[in-house]
């Protein structure tokens, strides 16, 4: 059975207003009285009118779709970023077009594809912290852009991310207040800007308290529990005087527990007899909550970073301010010893 498609003209006739008025109500534009808005919405509901969003976007040169390019969709950190961004955009009437880019050439293709699909703006996580972002190419698409990253990669693009130096200072000071004087740092690569910021915060805090910074206590390793376990085992075997470790990733912190156990030592805050090792990680994820004893984390809320990125992107839709903004999400301590 053929059912006639409800048109905007049908809605206008049912509501007793002009087609222009219906269009303005649906587009949330112009000054329309609350009574008229109610009439139009009631007509839309009664008739079952479905708006052609794509056509409306073409007519208004706007879009209700936001592009999100992630480095790795499976990474728990980026999954939380995506969840926060989607939560905020949906609240404000937008939908998200999600894709993944693990290298720079793929990133450029993702941007081009999204531009062709008519997204209104793009939020992206760079493929790596040293990625050279072609600002002119992004601006050529005439799209608002926000970079979401663990470290700032380009001062000419709006940026939302964590305060890595403050997070490391908070973690180091926490351990010092627990009585630790020989603190190591495990995880990440020397090429990582995020790691450089955290190691800088860790080092400056040690100096502030008159404690030694030992380069041999700062160990690189790949992400993941197995590399972290091996790195921590080696660090403690070579430098048994170390009583506390800052761990670059949440997976590093979980792996560190295994590394400590391999040497017949335990994880905890008692450093009097040099048998227990205190562990503090960054950016807690769900798996890290299952360790025994629970690990203390300094958390830069990835979900909040996603929300802030969405808000900043939507702000750009509504203004023409050409100055790049930087939004920093402050860290918080998730203390395993507290409820």
Closest by CA position to 63, among listed 143, 148, 132, 139: 143
Fold (CATH) for 8-51: 434 Repressor (Amino-terminal Domain) (1.10.260)
* Cα–Cα distance measured from residue 57 to residue 62, given in angstroms and rounded to the nearest whole number: 5
Question: What's the pTM value of the predicted model, to 2 decimals?
Answer: 0.76
Give the ranges where 148-192 is alpha helix by DSSP (H): 164-177
Kindly tell me the burial class for residue 145, based on how many C-beta atoms sit within 10 Å of its own C-beta (0-12, 13-18, 19 or more).
Answer: buried
pLDDT tens-place string over residues 191-220: 898 999 999 999 999 999 999 899 999 999
164-299 matches 65-162+303-329 in CATH topology: yes
Kindly tell me the burial class for residue 202, based on how many C-beta atoms sit within 10 Å of its own C-beta (0-12, 13-18, 19 or more).
Answer: buried
Q: Strand 326-329 and strand 244-247: pairing? A: unpaired
Kindly indicate the confidence band of residue 55, based on its pLDDT and cuts at 50, 70 and 90.
very low
- CB of 242 closer than 8 Å to CB of 216: no
Q: In terms of CATH architecture, what is 164-299? A: 3-Layer(aba) Sandwich (3.40)
pLDDT beyond 90 at 67: yes
Q: What mean pLDDT, rounded, does the chain reach?
A: 85
If one counts every other C-beta atom within 10 angstroms of the C-beta of residue 235, the result is 23
- CB of 336 closer than 8 Å to CB of 298: no
- CATH number for region 65-162+303-329: 3.40.50.2300
pLDDT at 54: 44
* Cα–Cα distance measured from residue 221 to residue 307, given in angstroms and rounded to the nearest whole number: 31
What ranges do the domains of the chain cover?
A: 8-51, 65-162+303-329, 164-299
pLDDT beyond 80 at 136: no
pLDDT tens-place string over residues 80-128: 999 999 999 988 888 899 999 887 778 888 888 888 888 888 999 987 7
pLDDT tens-place string over residues 277-294: 999 999 876 665 666 678
**What's the rounded mean pLDDT across residues 172-176?**
97
Tell me the helix, strand and coil percentages in the chain, rounded to 5.
45, 15, 35
Q: Could you give phi then psi for residue 274, rounded to 5 degrees?
A: 60, 30
- CB of 263 closer than 8 Å to CB of 290: no
- CB of 326 closer than 8 Å to CB of 149: no
Closest by CA position to 256, among listed 270, 282, 272: 282
pLDDT beyond 60 at 273: no
């Amino acid at each position: 059975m053929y059912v006639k498609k409800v048109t905007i003209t049908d809605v206008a006739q049912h509501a007793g207003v002009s087609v222009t008025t219906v269009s303005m109500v649906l587009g949330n534009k112009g000054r329309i009285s609350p009574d008229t808005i109610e009439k139009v919405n009631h007509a839309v509901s009664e008739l079952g009118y479905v708006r052609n969003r794509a056509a409306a976007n073409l007519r208004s040169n706007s879009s209700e779709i936001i592009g999100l390019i992630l480095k790795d969709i499976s990474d728990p950190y980026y999954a939380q970023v995506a969840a926060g961004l989607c939560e905020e955009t949906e609240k404000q009437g937008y939908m998200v077009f999600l894709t993944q880019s693990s290298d720079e050439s793929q990133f450029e293709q993702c941007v081009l594809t999204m531009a062709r699909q008519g997204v209104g703006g793009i939020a992206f996580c760079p493929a790596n912290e040293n990625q050279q972002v072609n600002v002119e190419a992004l601006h050529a698409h005439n799209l608002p852009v926000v970079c979401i990253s663990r470290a700032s990669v380009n001062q000419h693009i709006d940026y939302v991310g964590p305060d890595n130096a403050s997070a490391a200072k908070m973690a180091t000071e926490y351990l010092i207040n627990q009585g630790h004087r020989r603190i190591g740092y495990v995880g990440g690569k020397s090429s990582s800007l995020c790691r450089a910021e955290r190691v800088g915060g860790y080092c400056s805090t040690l100096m502030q308290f008159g404690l030694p910074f030992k380069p041999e206590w700062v160990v690189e390793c790949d992400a993941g529990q197995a590399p972290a376990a091996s790195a921590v085992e080696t660090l403690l075997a070579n430098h048994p005087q170390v009583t506390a470790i800052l761990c670059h990733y949440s997976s590093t912190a979980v792996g560190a527990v295994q590394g400590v156990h391999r040497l017949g030592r335990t994880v905890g805050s008692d450093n009097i007899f040099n048998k227990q090792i205190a562990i503090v990680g960054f950016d807690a994820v769900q798996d890290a909550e299952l360790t025994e004893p629970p690990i203390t984390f300094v958390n830069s809320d990835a979900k909040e970073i996603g929300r802030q990125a969405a808000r900043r992107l939507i702000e750009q839709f509504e203004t023409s301010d050409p100055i790049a903004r930087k939004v920093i999400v402050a860290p918080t301590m998730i203390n395993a010893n507290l409820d």
